[in-house]
Structure 1
Amino acid sequence: MKQLPSPHVPVPGNGVSGELETMLYDYQKSKGSSKLVRATSGNVMLYGNLGNIRSKQSSGNDPKPGYRPNANRVTGSLVPSNQTDTDTGTVVLCRALSKRTDSEELKDLGNREFGEGRFAEALAYYDQAISMDPGKASYRSNKAAALMGLGRIFEAVCECKEAVRIDPGYCRAHNRLAGLYFRLGEAGKSIHHYRQSQREADPSDISKAQTLQRYIAKCSEARRTRDWQTMLKESQSAISFGADFALQAFSWKAEALMRLQKHDEADAVLNGAPKLDVNASTKIFGAPVNGYMLMIRAQVDMAAGRFDEAVSAAQRAMQLDRNNQEITAVLRRTKAVAFARSKGNEFFKVSNFNEACLAYGEGLGHDPQNAILLCNRAASQAKLAQWERAAEDCNAALKLRPSYAKARLRRAHCNAKMGRWAPAVQDYETLIKELPGDEEVSKALAEAKSMLQKKRWDLVKSTTLS
């Protein structure tokens, strides 16, 4: 590599070449010290207790141990706060650097960026080092660390597995992979790799993985015995214990909530779970487990009124596990409910409310606890002035989904029509908090309050006169 003049700082040229000269000079200058630049002690967001980065003697192969880089936590992922676009400048610079530096120097540059909390830049350097020397296990392990810093847990697993394949005795890669499997809820695999990592693992790591294994076993047994309260408790325990990417645990929790008729909460659980495409999920968890997770997703989508998405999820589940009778039943039911809802909507649009009621009722025959169908049937019944029936369907829908504003509004309207002003006022007051500024609700509330006051006054007069 061409040596830059020293001690004079190079005069930067234009474009990438000028930046390269400055970067190379800074890098060579830093090589005068055996220590890499340290991040500040407060810049930490990685899971230290899972063995991602250890405060042990550095072998020179991994990013500087003990670093706690700066990152922001967003929706369950670790996202760096000061990233450069790795598809533009950083990668271009790394490709140019690769022509003038060897793979070890690129790895060291990556370690330096990692220590500063710039995970995307570190990742680009590690990728360049791998392209120059793909048979080096430490490069794959370092890349996994950068991916972990970016919250790309599933990709990190693949890199660690490749590092272990290249060098089966690479303890640090085993340790890192064990921590990743822990977060994925794969307790058995986590224990195996912690044991393979030997002294790299903290003495308590295997014990923690064994505790997680017990949570997982209890969830599985609770589902077998249909003990939904226990399944809810144990799945939440697994997630809180550190298995924050355990998609099966999120699915167990969502199913338990669905069975306990808490549909809004089940929807919130799956919406807050880590996102992963079907192929990647199948690769990590296996087809049967992924089929189960898609089956639960289908049922949650159907309860939330996302009928097309529900059918799609159930069909994908069937493709993964064709012999699963439970998935077969869910697919059949999902299709039937989606068809009934569509038919009911068509009748409603042409004001054929009797047929609409029948169509929605047909769907409820397949899924009696579908809040959307209950609310839709209530709308049809209201059009037929069947206020009592409509209010009952709204009651059932709100029991399943307390935040279902449309059902609450419809119930308030029905109660108003039947002269039940007190419950109507109560519903309108709840709606005005959820829908501030809604003129229709404000007007209905004012009218309901006026009628309630009049009713009370009439009662007082009646009592006085008698």
Structure 2
Amino acid sequence: MTESRDPPTGCAMFGIYSGMFRRSRRSASMTSLHRVNGGGAASPASDSDAQEASPAHRERKGRQDRRKGVGGGATRTTATAAEPASEYTGMAAELDKMILDHQRVKGTTQLVRATSGNMMLHRNLGNLNAGGGGSSARNSVERAAKQANERKASPLTNGYAFSGMGNIVKESAKPSGGGDLCRALSHRTDPEKLKEMGNEEYRQGHYAEAVALYDQAIMMDARRPAYWSNKAAALAALGRLIEAVGDCKEAVRIDPSFDRAHHRLGGLYLRLGEPDKAIYHLKQSSKESTGADVSRAQSVKSRIAKSNDARRLKNWITVLQEAQAAVSDGADCAPQVMALQAEALLRLQRHDEADALFTGAAALRFGVDESTKFFGTFGHAYVLIVRAQVDMAAGRFEDAVATAQTAFQLDPSNREVTNVQRRAKAAAAARLRGNDLFKAAKFAEACAAYGEGLEREPGNAVLLCNRAACHAKLGRHEKAVEDCSGALVVRPSYSKARLRRADCNVKLERWEASMRDYQVLIQELPENEDVKKALSEVQAKLNSQRNGGAPARSQH
């Protein structure tokens, strides 16, 4: 195991001390313990007699005899008993007293370790034992193996609670422990064992646990490229693709011929919409990659290029088709490809679909800093201005202003970014002014304010619906229906606009048109009693008209 480059932790310092402590003979240790706790100076012989009387000591002595022979063990015991006890003070004596005090109060043989930040309990730490009698390295290994088997058999979730991950874990209930939480101390575990445990967690779909285990293995030996590559796979499964790329890059830096890491890195770059880098790494992994992998990356490259060309020509149908094809070919987590789709959907008056790309369950969520670092300033600024426009279309004007401002800070010289920022500010200000005027019952002025916002953001469903409310208050139901219809063209699921149009059609006695809207609303709002009541009344009016009532007005 390589020497750690980091300063020693609390566990490391304790390990250093334990090495110093083991230099003193056990007889001296027991004598000092007795002195620290106020007793007289016990002789080595009396100490040995006390140990001989305990079953635990007899069992340990038997094991030593079997290893060395009865005569050898007896000779060693006699020599120890004959040696004078050497007294020691300072940190060693303080630790002895702390151990003994804890044993006396808690009635346990566990060691207690005080640190600057917490208190942790552990049954064995290094070769220090809570029981009496001398201890050899072989005994420590045997005890560690026995404890490992006991932990493996315990019903702890996922079976990794004692792997030294630093997680807060809870042991199985014991009468003396009371189910207290403790922080698991780091074990001197083989990093290969940690990797195997991580692989098992990964196979079971426990990706966060796998990441933690791979991290622990990396802390113990950061020169193994497989640890970095496996961690990248678990991060990718958690959707943390940019982090996964960083770990894969570290793996290929350590071993430039590591085919699996190159293959994994190529796949990550493909998903993130970086086909040139994907092609390079896929070609570096000849044992892992196939010709089909490279062809797919080349197809993504071609699709993105065609989509960008069509955008310059404002051919939004082609933009959408090529961007969707790029996603199908593998660029399913590429923010710029997603932005191309969203912008095309906005221009094609399909605002709900554009909004779903940014707010749906499968939406991409990358931080501004990591995206800027990974995709570059210009690339991320484009994603942000598209998002700002989607926010405006959905009525999230404050979010749109904030997002556009961030894009402007990234790329202030970009004319397109500047234009979107100005539009967002103007539309947000117009909507806010219109809302204030509407609350003050100044409906004509509010109508004009919303109209100013529509000049900046034509076809905005929220501004159209708000202006329709002003028209309805002024008795201009025909104009209100027109604005609501315009809002529903771009956002068919906009329930407020549909409800307002249904109400205005009732005022115009357009029963069939009103009933169609209420029937859609009852599907979207099945528990809404007002909608149920309104639908029932409209159906009664329509039945009355069909049964010889007054002729209906012309339908809109």
The TM-score, its normalising length taken from structure 1, stands at 0.79
Q: Deviations over 1:224-276 (max 9, x none)?
A: 11111111111111112222211111111111110000111111122232211
Q: Counterpart of 1:214? A: 302
Change in Cα spacing, 1:108 to 1:17, as seen in structure 2 (3 Å) is farther
Question: Which structure ranks higher in relative contact order (CA pairs < 8 Å, sequence separation ≥ 6)?
Answer: 1
Counterpart of 1:358? Answer: 448
> 1:294 aligned to 2:419?
no
Aligned to 1:62: none
Alignment correspondent of 1:150: 238
- Contact 2:195–2:227 (Cα < 8 Å) also in 1: yes
Unaligned runs of 5+ in 1: 6-12, 30-81
Q: Which one of 378, 384, 387 corresponds to residue 474 of structure 2?
A: 384
Once residues 348 and 262 of structure 2 are traced to their aligned partners in structure 1, the CA distance between those partners, rounded to angstroms, is: 40
1:117-132 correspondence runs (5 A): 117-132=205-220
1:133 to 221, 224, 229: 221
Q: Distance in 1 between matches of 2:319 and 2:537?
A: 47
What percentage of aligned pairs have identical amino acids?
A: 52
Q: How many residues align?
A: 400
Partner of residue 343, structure 2: 255
Equivalent residue, structure 2, for 1:393: 483
- Contact in 1 for aligned 2:393/2:462 (Cα 8 Å): yes
Q: What residue in structure 2 maps to residue 187 of structure 1?
A: 275
Correspondence 1:32-431 to 2 at 5 A: 90-92=165-167, 98-272=186-360, 273-431=363-521
CA contact (8 A) 1:20 1:97 kept: no
Asked if the contact 1:86/1:121 (under 8 Å) is kept, the reply is: no
- Which AA in structure 1 matches 2:340? W
Q: 1:21 to 1:319 in 2, by over 3 A?
A: farther
Moved more, 358-367 or 235-244: 235-244
Q: Please tell me the residue identity of whatever aligns with 2:188.
A: R
**CA–CA separation in structure 2 for the residues paired with 1:270 and 1:323:** 26
Distance 1:295 1:242, change over 3 A: same
Distance (whole Å) between structure 2 residues aligned to residue 203 and residue 24 of structure 1? 47
Asked if structure 2 preserves the Cα contact closer than 8 Å seen for 1:177 and 1:190, the reply is yes
Offset of residue 85 of structure 1: 10
Alpha-carbon displacement from aligned partner over 1:279-330 (angstroms, at most 9, x marks no partner): 1111221111111111110001100001111111111111111111011000
* Cα RMSD after superposing both structures: 3.1
Structure 2 residue runs of 5 or longer lacking an equivalent are 2-62, 64-108, 111-120, 125-142, 170-182
Q: Counterpart of 2:69? A: none
Q: Deviations over 1:145-199 (max 9, x none)?
A: 2222333222111111122233333222111100111111211110011112232
Secondary structure in 2 matching 1:185: coil
Q: Distance in 2 between matches of 1:84 and 1:226?
A: 57
After TM superposition, the score normalised by the length of structure 2 is: 0.67
Relative to 1, partners in 2 of residues 1:426 and 1:236: Cα closer, same or farther, differing over 3 Å? same
Larger Rg: 2
CA contact (8 A) 2:339 2:386 kept: yes
Which whole-Å CA distance do the structure 2 matches of 1:92 and 1:22 have between them? 22
Q: Which residue of 1 aligns with 2:537?
A: 447
Q: Deviations over 1:105-127 (max 9, x none)?
A: 33333334334443333222211
| Structure 1 residues 22 and 429: CA distance shift in structure 2, 3 A | farther
Q: Partners in 1 of 2:467 and 2:548 — Cα distance? A: 35
